[in-house]
A and B are shown apart, each in its own frame.
Chain A
Amino acid sequence: MSKSPSTTNNPNTTSVSRVGSRRRRRFIGGLGIGAFAAAQASAAELLAPLKVEPWSTTPGAPILEHPYGVPSSFEKDVVRRAAKAWPLPGAASSMTPLADLHGSITPNGLVYERHHAGVPEIDPAQHRLAVHGLVGAPTLFTMDDILRLPSESRIHFIECSGNTGGEWNGPSGMPVQLTHGLLSCCEWTGVRLSTLLDEVNGVQGKARWILAEGSDAAAMTRSLPLDRILDRAMIVYAQNGERLRPENGYPLRLIVPGFEGNTHVKWLRRLKIVDAPLETREETSKYTNLLADGTARQFVFEMDAKSVITRPSPGHKLTTHGYYPISGLAWSGRGTIRRVEVSTDGGASWRNARMETSPRERALTRFEADWQWNGGPAAILSRATDSTGYVQPTREALVSARGLNSQYHYNAIQQWRVDANGDVRNA
């Protein structure tokens, strides 16, 4: 398989069209895989004596050409993209290029975005976190205060509850970046919520919920059940070893491992301990899941187990027959990934994939399965099982339980079709 440049490289103004658009077709780039493709494409060239390339005969760039390093210019198409042109670009989302990533950690510049009123530029020296309500001692923290509290670093995924919502009505035709790209995984560093609550002399007897509020122009607000998050929620200031990126909440955000993305309130300015949920707009009008009978599920927090094949995936093209690893990501908001199964015959038969990274609690796990492609049409799928025994459902099962209007929390098994000519499609 070979990799060719994509024609789309402006996530601000351009949305990637359906993969069916051939001029935007994106080919898979692999390690061993690429060698197969090269041998097929230019055997004569490979038989010739090796060329001494110019970069071997001229010194390269000096240090500090980029004081903050940037990817190779050959990786310029590995960028976040939006699935559509949003009417208010500050109230929008951009998606992680899952097909181009390796392992289980998302680079900071590629972590998906979802904002409700744009990205604020916050001076950390001016930032404050207020902790109040039903606590022993209402307290105002500066960033210096937060940085002096005992810290922890933990790897967790964040997935928007709207991720893959375009598949409710069947195959959307979109590539994996636009079907599953509201998903990222970072090492987060900060203070446990329980440590912070100890710091304010604990919570009072009637305390049941916690209101988290951002300092952005939406003052984004969610009520969260204290007993379900206290053992793992964190107030974080760093991701993957550096301070949070502005679009990911700089200088401070909440992380609620396993819960839907919008609860991980960014630009966190206030935590109020309360006895009951505040019924904010983001937990009534939005992020509630409408069922076929007209009622709606409310406070739907955990992201259930899910997996998706990222390579090969729509837009890739298999160029030669033979060996291909099927690689993908699996995750569960309720624990670790216990098993991932892969099918190449549309779900008629399944076999276990191997874990390419060690499964972690509420984190992305990379899986891989061997596959010999004989050139015929195929339908490749993956199915995750988590540590609670929950098995990733089919679309039919989800639709049967929830109807077609619930928008959020779509986690069905995803199928990609491989055509006889090697094209991979979401169909």
Chain B
Amino acid sequence: MHSLFRLGLILAISGLPLLANASHHLGTPLTEEQIAPWDIDVGPDGRGLPAGSGDVAMGAHVFASKCAACHGAAGQGLIGDALVGGRGTLASNKPKRTVGSYWPYATTLFDYIRRAMPFNAPQSLSADEVYALSAYLLNQNGIVPPGTILDKDSLPKVKMPNRDGFVPDPRPGKL
């Protein structure tokens, strides 16, 4: 840390005892157990996925009762985003960006559904229900077969159709 070096330099020059770091000794040490309820991010390699599992059939049931009101009975989109379809449209005049056509990682489904959905009751679904919804939506998009059961090992292995569809920002230097 630059500021650490700066502080060290100042203290060394001034002849004061050199502190181990620039801490003001504020805040409280945080343990893994304490942070666990908030530590809900899931990485593309599956890091952060919890125990549990869910299959397509259970996902269809959960979707019908908790998601369809906003996303449509088949995930076609209503006041909520379309989640299904759109493959092959990204280079067209009317691109349709859905889980199936656009999302590069299947793990994002788990991360996002768990933290933010359903809109009126986020963080209310069990891990099993979130795995099941992920399986259902991937199946609706033709990415996994009907008998699929997803868990922390299998979800990160799902290859999304648009996995290689993203490029880095070329700016500055190009528009």
List chain A positions with a Cβ less than 8 A from chain B: 87-88, 90-91, 116-117, 130-132, 136-142, 145, 148-150, 194-195, 197-203, 211, 213, 217-219, 221, 269-270, 272, 274, 276, 278-281, 284-285, 288, 290-302, 304, 334, 388, 390, 393, 397-398, 400-402, 404-405
Q: How far is the CA of A301 from the CA of B119 in the complex (A)?
A: 27
Q: Are A295 and B116 touching (Cβ within 8 A)?
A: no
Residue from B34, B35, B104, B116 in contact with A217 in the complex, judged by beta carbons closer than 8 Å = B116
Q: Are B1 and A202 touching (Cβ within 8 A)?
A: yes
Q: How far is the CA of A211 from the CA of B95 in the complex (A)?
A: 29
Q: How far is the CA of A116 from the CA of B122 in the complex (A)?
A: 12
Interface size of B in residues (CB-CB distance below 8 Å): 54
Among all A-B residue pairs, the 3 with the closest Cβ atoms:
A294-B91, A87-B79, A401-B175
Chain B residues with CB under 8 Å of A137's CB are 29
Q: A272-B41, A393-B175 known; A297 and B170 CB under 8 Å? A: yes
Q: Are B29 and A198 touching (Cβ within 8 A)?
A: no
List chain B positions with a Cβ less than 8 A from chain A: 1-4, 21-24, 26-31, 34-35, 38-44, 79, 81, 90-91, 93, 95, 97, 99, 102-105, 107-108, 111-112, 115-116, 119, 122-123, 165-172, 174-175
Q: Are A138 and B175 touching (Cβ within 8 A)?
A: no
Residue of A nearest to B114 (CB): A219
Q: How far is the CA of A302 from the CA of B170 in the complex (A)?
A: 11
Chain A residues with CB under 8 Å of B41's CB are 211, 213, 221, 272, 278, 280
Chain A residues with CB under 8 Å of B43's CB are 274, 276, 278-279
Q: Are B23 and A201 touching (Cβ within 8 A)?
A: yes
A-B contact pairs, 13 of them (CB 8 A): A137-B29, A149-B24, A199-B23, A218-B122, A221-B115, A280-B111, A284-B103, A292-B91, A390-B172, A397-B175, A401-B175, A404-B93, A405-B93
Residue from B38, B44, B97 in contact with A130 in the complex, judged by beta carbons closer than 8 Å = B38
Q: Are B119 and A117 touching (Cβ within 8 A)?
A: yes
Q: Are B42 and A278 touching (Cβ within 8 A)?
A: yes
Chain B residues with CB under 8 Å of A91's CB are 119
Report whether over half of chain A's contact residues are helix, strand or loop; otherwise say mixed: loop
Chain A residues with CB under 8 Å of B95's CB are 290, 294, 405
Identify the interface centre among A116, A136, A139: most chain B CB within 10 Å of its CB: A139
Q: A197-B1, A221-B115 known; A296 and B91 CB under 8 Å? A: no
Chain B residues with CB under 8 Å of A145's CB are 26-27
Report whether over half of chain B's contact residues are helix, strand or loop; otherwise say mixed: loop
Kindly provide the distance from the CB of B30 to the nearest chain A CB, expressed in whole angstroms: 4
Residue from B30, B93, B167, B174 in contact with A139 in the complex, judged by beta carbons closer than 8 Å = B30
Q: A194-B1, A198-B3, A298-B167 known; A270 and B112 CB under 8 Å? A: no
Q: How far is the CA of A281 from the CA of B97 in the complex (A)?
A: 12
Q: Are B39 and A296 touching (Cβ within 8 A)?
A: no
Residue of B nearest to A292 (CB): B91
Q: Number of contacts between A and B (CB, 8 Å)?
A: 175
Q: How far is the CA of A407 from the CA of B35 in the complex (A)?
A: 36
Chain B residues with CB under 8 Å of A140's CB are 27-30, 34
Chain B residues with CB under 8 Å of A201's CB are 21, 23
Residue from A293, A294, A298 in contact with B168 in the complex, judged by beta carbons closer than 8 Å = A298
Q: How far is the CA of A131 from the CA of B165 in the complex (A)?
A: 33
Q: How far is the CA of A402 from the CA of B171 in the complex (A)?
A: 12
Chain A residues with CB under 8 Å of B174's CB are 401
Kindly provide the distance from the CB of B80 to the nearest chain A CB, expressed in whole angstroms: 8
Chain B residues with CB under 8 Å of A198's CB are 1, 3-4, 21-23
Residue of A nearest to B44 (CB): A279
Identify the interface centre among B4, B99, B123, B171: most chain A CB within 10 Å of its CB: B171
Kindly provide the distance from the CB of B26 to the nearest chain A CB, expressed in whole angstroms: 4
Kindly provide the distance from the CB of A32 to the nearest chain B CB, expressed in whole angstroms: 39
Chain A residues with CB under 8 Å of B34's CB are 140
Q: Are B26 and A149 touching (Cβ within 8 A)?
A: yes
Q: Are B175 and A88 touching (Cβ within 8 A)?
A: no
Q: Are A295 and B21 touching (Cβ within 8 A)?
A: no
Kindly provide the distance from the CB of A198 to the nearest chain B CB, expressed in whole angstroms: 4
Q: Are A295 and B166 touching (Cβ within 8 A)?
A: yes
Q: A198-B22, A276-B43 known; A299 and B169 CB under 8 Å? A: yes
Kindly provide the distance from the CB of A42 to the nearest chain B CB, expressed in whole angstroms: 51
Chain B residues with CB under 8 Å of A280's CB are 41, 108, 111-112
Q: How far is the CA of A405 from the CA of B123 in the complex (A)?
A: 33
Residue of B nearest to A198 (CB): B22
Q: Are A296 and B3 touching (Cβ within 8 A)?
A: no
Q: A217-B116, A293-B91 known; A138 and B168 CB under 8 Å? A: no
Q: How far is the CA of A404 from the CA of B123 in the complex (A)?
A: 36
Chain B residues with CB under 8 Å of A141's CB are 26-28
Chain A residues with CB under 8 Å of B111's CB are 221, 278, 280-281
Identify the interface centre among A130, A131, A194, A280: most chain B CB within 10 Å of its CB: A280
Chain B residues with CB under 8 Å of A398's CB are 175
Q: How far is the CA of A334 from the CA of B105 in the complex (A)?
A: 30
Chain A residues with CB under 8 Å of B102's CB are 284-285, 296
Q: How far is the CA of A298 from the CA of B43 in the complex (A)?
A: 16
Q: A138-B30, A139-B28 known; A194 and B166 CB under 8 Å? A: no
Q: Are B21 and A297 touching (Cβ within 8 A)?
A: no
Kindly provide the distance from the CB of B115 to the nearest chain A CB, expressed in whole angstroms: 4
Given A139-B27, A285-B102, 19 more pairs with CB closer than 8 A? A131-B27, A140-B28, A140-B30, A142-B27, A148-B24, A150-B24, A194-B1, A195-B3, A199-B26, A218-B115, A221-B111, A280-B112, A284-B103, A285-B81, A288-B166, A297-B167, A297-B168, A390-B172, A393-B175
